[in-house]
Amino acid sequence: MIRVCVFPESTSAPSRRRCYRVVGAQIVFVTIAPMSISELRRRRTFAVISHPDAGKTTLTEKLLLFSGAIQIAGTVKGRKSNRYATSDWMEIEKQRGISVASSVMQFEYGDAVINLLDTPGHEDFSEDTYRVLTAVDAAVMVIDGANGVEAQTLKLLEVCRSRKTPIVTFINKLDREVREPLDLLDEIERHLGVAAVPFTWPIGMGKDFQGVYDIQRDQVRVFRAGQDTLGGAVETLQAIGHDDGERRFGYAWTKAKDEVELITGATPTFDRDEFLAGQQSPVLFGSAINNFGVKEILDALVDLAPPPSMRMTVQRPVQPDEPKFTGVVFKVQANMDLAHRDRVAFIRVCSGRFERGMALKVTRSNKTFRANNVVTFLSQRRETVSEAYAGDIIGIPNHGTLSLGDTLTEGEDLQFVGLPFFAPEIFQTVEVVDPMRAKQLGEALKQLGEEGAIQVFKPVVGGLMILGAVGQLQFEVVAHRLSTEYKVDVRMMSARYKMSRWITCDDAGELRRFLDAYSARIAMDASNAPTYLASHISEIEVAQKAWPKIVFNELRERSGAPFTKAI
Ligand code: G4P
C-alpha cells in the first residue's frame, strides 16, 4: 500500500522525517502551500476590453459558457434573446444596446479561479472602464479583424500600458472577410506600441476559414462553421506535413505556412517577463460567436497571466500574501437591482483572506463595520460570499458607508492609490422640474456623484448644481436614472463652463485666499474637494500665473490620497 503524506509548504525537514518514520517506507510526499497562498496562486483577475462591436460581450459570454458558469447563450446580454438576465444592469442599455455599467463574474476553470470584469464599451463611459482596469491583473483585448485597431482600443491600451497590465490579444470574427493577419499584427505593433507575438495563425478567413495553426504546439485546430464546440472537442491535427495540409486545406494552408515562416523570423520569441511588463502581447485568432479560440484564451490567461501581485498604498506596498485582509473600492453602483434598492461597493481584495462577518475598517471615515452581507456576482445573480482571497472581487451592499476609492482593512491605516477621477470635459446645469422634489434631487445627485456615474459640483456661492461628464451619454443616463430610480425629473442645460481643475496647495493659508478670491468660480465636488471652473484654458493659465503656489489638477485621487499621474 502506498500512503500519501500532505504537508504545508512551510513544514520543516525534521517534521517530514518524523512523519516518514511513523508511516513507514512506502510513502509519497506531497507538499502543499498554506491555504491562502495556494488560493492566491489560483486567482486570475482580468477584464475584456474592446472598441464597441468588436465582440467583447460575445466573448465574455462564451468564456462563461465554456467554463460552465452559465448554460444558456444570451445570458450575458439580451440582444435577440428574450431569456436575458443581463450583465448590463440598466434599462437604458437595453434600449441603446450598449454596455453602460461594468459587471463582475467569478468562475472556476480547471484549477484556476477566474474573476472576469466586464467594462462598458462606449467611450462616454471610459471613466468607469479606467477604474475597472485598476482592479485587474491582466486584460484580454478583442480586436475586430475587419476593422483592426480602433480609437477606443487605442485609449484603453494606453491605460493598460501606463499600469503595465499584461494583455492577451484576441483577433475576432475570422469567419468573416477580415484584414490580412500580417497587416493586423503590424497595426497592433505600430499603433499600440506592444510587440505582438502570434500564438496561433489563421488558415483562411471568411467562408474559407478552416481553423488555426497553433505555432507553439505545432498542431491545427479545425474550424467548423456554425458548430458550437462547447460540448465536443475541436478536431486537432498534430504536426501535419505540408502535403497533407495542402490536401486538406488547399491554398489557405500554403499561405498560412508561408506567413508563419515569415513572422517566425521577424517577431521576437515570447518572453513571459516582457508580457508581464506589458511589452509583449500573445495574439490569438478566432471567432467568438462560433466559440472558436475561446479555450485558448482561457488557457493563455491561466498559464501566462499573473496571480495577484503587490499594490501600492500611500503608506507602504501591500503584498497579496500578507495574512491580514485589505481591499479597495473601485466601483460603486447604486440601485443595481431595484428589488434591493441599495448601493453595492465593488471591492478588489488586495491581501489576506476575507471572511464573512469580519470587522472591517474604512480608513477614510475611521468607521468599522461587520461585513455580514457580502456578495459575489454571476451575471445578475447575487450569491453570498463566505470567504475571498486576494484578486477576488466582492460586493458589499451598503447605504453610503462606502465610497469610490475607499480602503478597507482589519485596522491598519492604509490608503490604496491609483484610482483616478478625470477632469470633466462637458458641463451642464441641472434643475428640478418639480420644486417639491428638490431635496430628492440633492440626495440622488449625491449618490450618483459618489458612485462616479457623473461628477457633481456645488457652486460655493449658490446657484444651480453643475454636472460634469467625460461623454455626453453620461448626462442622458443620469437623467434617465434620476427619473426612473429616484422619481426626479430634471432639466439639463449647457453650462458656461468648459473645463475644471481640482485645486490643491501645500500652503493652507494660500489655498484659503485663492478660494476666497475666486469664490464665484469655485464649486465643491461629491467628496467636497474644491474645483476651479473655467470657460477657456486661458483662464486657468492666467490664474496659475497669478497664483504660482496653487496646483490645478486634471486628475484627482479619492479619499485624500495624493494626486498622482498613475494614469
Ligand atoms: P461588443 O460587446 O464589443 O460591443 O460586441 P458584441 O459582442 O455585442 O458583438 C457585436 C456584433 O458582432 C454582434 O452582432 C455579434 O453577434 C457580432 N460578433 C461577435 N463575434 C463575432 C464573430 O466571431 N463573428 C461574427 N461574424 N460576428 C461576431 P450584432 O448583429 O450587433 O448583434 P446580434 O444580432 O448578433 O446579437
pLDDT digits (tens, 9 = 90+) for 286-309: 999 988 888 899 999 999 999 999
DSSP type of residue 174:
T
Interval between CA 174 and ligand 1 midpoint (Å): 12
More confident residue, 381 or 491: 491
Task: Provide the CB-side half-sphere exposure for 484 (13 A, CA).
Answer: 14
For ligand 1, say whether the CB of 420 is within 6 Å of any of its atoms: no
According to the model, what pLDDT value does residue 318 have?
A: 96
Interval between CA 451 and ligand 1 midpoint (Å): 30
Q: What is the pLDDT of residues 260-285, one digit of tens each?
A: 998 888 888 899 999 999 999 999 99
Candidate of 51, 53, 82 to mutate for ligand 1, largest count of ligand atoms within 8 Å of Cβ: 53
b/e 276-295 (16+ beta carbons within 10 angstroms → b): bebbbbbbbbbbbbbbbbbb
Query: Residue 498, annotated ligand binder?
Result: no
For 309-342, where are the E strands, in sequence order? 311-312, 317-318, 326-334
Interval between CA 197 and ligand 1 midpoint (Å): 25
Report the amino acid identity of residue 405. G
For ligand 1, say whether the CB of 145 is within 6 Å of any of its atoms: no
Burial class (CB in 10 A: 0-12, 13-18, 19+), 116: buried
Average pLDDT value for the chain: 83
Pairing, β 499-504 against β 551-553: antiparallel
Residue 92 has pLDDT above 80, yes or no: no
For ligand 1, say whether the CB of 176 is within 6 Å of any of its atoms: yes
Nearest alpha carbon, ligand 1 atom 31: 53
Query: Residue 82, annotated ligand binder?
Result: no
Residue 150 has pLDDT above 70, yes or no: yes
Interval between CA 145 and ligand 1 midpoint (Å): 12
Helix (H) or strand (E) holding 13: helix 13-23
Please state the atom number of ligand 1 nearest to the C-alpha of residue 176: 26
Cα–Cα separations (whole angstroms), residue 313 to 131, 214, 307, 451:
16, 41, 19, 22
Interval between CA 121 and ligand 1 midpoint (Å): 13
> How much of the chain is in helix, strand and coil states, percent to nearest 5?
30, 30, 40
Nearest alpha carbon, ligand 1 atom 11: 53
Report the amino acid identity of residue 207. K
For ligand 1, say whether the CB of 56 is within 6 Å of any of its atoms: yes
Query: Residue 191, annotated ligand binder?
Result: no
With contact defined as beta carbons under 8 Å apart, do 18 and 5 qualify?
no
With contact defined as beta carbons under 8 Å apart, do 416 and 348 qualify?
no
Query: Residue 122, annotated ligand binder?
Result: yes
Nearest alpha carbon, ligand 1 atom 10: 53
Interval between CA 53 and ligand 1 midpoint (Å): 6
Q: What is the pLDDT of residues 320-375, one digit of tens each?
A: 999 999 999 998 877 655 555 678 899 999 999 999 999 999 998 899 999 888 87
Please state the atom number of ligand 1 nearest to the C-alpha of residue 80: 36
Residues whose CB is less than 8 angstroms from the CB of residue 95 and which lie 6 or more positions away in sequence, other chains included:
none
Interval between CA 484 and ligand 1 midpoint (Å): 29
pTM: 0.80
Query: Residue 50, annotated ligand binder?
Result: yes
Q: What is the pLDDT of residues 25-60, one digit of tens each?
A: 555 655 555 656 788 899 999 999 888 889 988 898
DSSP type of residue 495:
-
CA distance 520 to 32: 64
Query: Residue 321, annotated ligand binder?
Result: no
CA distance 295 to 277: 24
Cα–Cα separations (whole angstroms), residue 164 to 195, 268, 270, 285, 373:
14, 19, 17, 23, 34
Q: What is the pLDDT of residues 536-567, one digit of tens each?
A: 999 999 999 999 999 998 877 764 544 444 33
Cα–Cα separations (whole angstroms), residue 5 to 22, 32, 143:
11, 10, 48
Candidate of 125, 289, 290, 296 to mutate for ligand 1, largest count of ligand atoms within 8 Å of Cβ: 289
According to the model, what pLDDT value does residue 31 have?
A: 54
Q: Angle at which helices 251-266 and 181-192 pack, to 10 degrees?
A: 30
Query: Residue 173, annotated ligand binder?
Result: yes
According to the model, what pLDDT value does residue 474 have?
A: 86
For ligand 1, say whether the CB of 58 is within 6 Å of any of its atoms: yes
b/e 39-71 (16+ beta carbons within 10 angstroms → b): bbbbbbbbbbbbbbbbbbbbbbbbbbbbbebbe
**Domains in the chain: ranges and CATH:** 2-32 (no CATH), 39-304 (3.40.50.300), 318-409 (3.40.50.300), 420-566 (3.30.70.3280)
For ligand 1, say whether the CB of 96 is within 6 Å of any of its atoms: no
Residues of the chain with pLDDT > 90, as a percent, come to 47
With contact defined as beta carbons under 8 Å apart, do 357 and 372 qualify?
yes
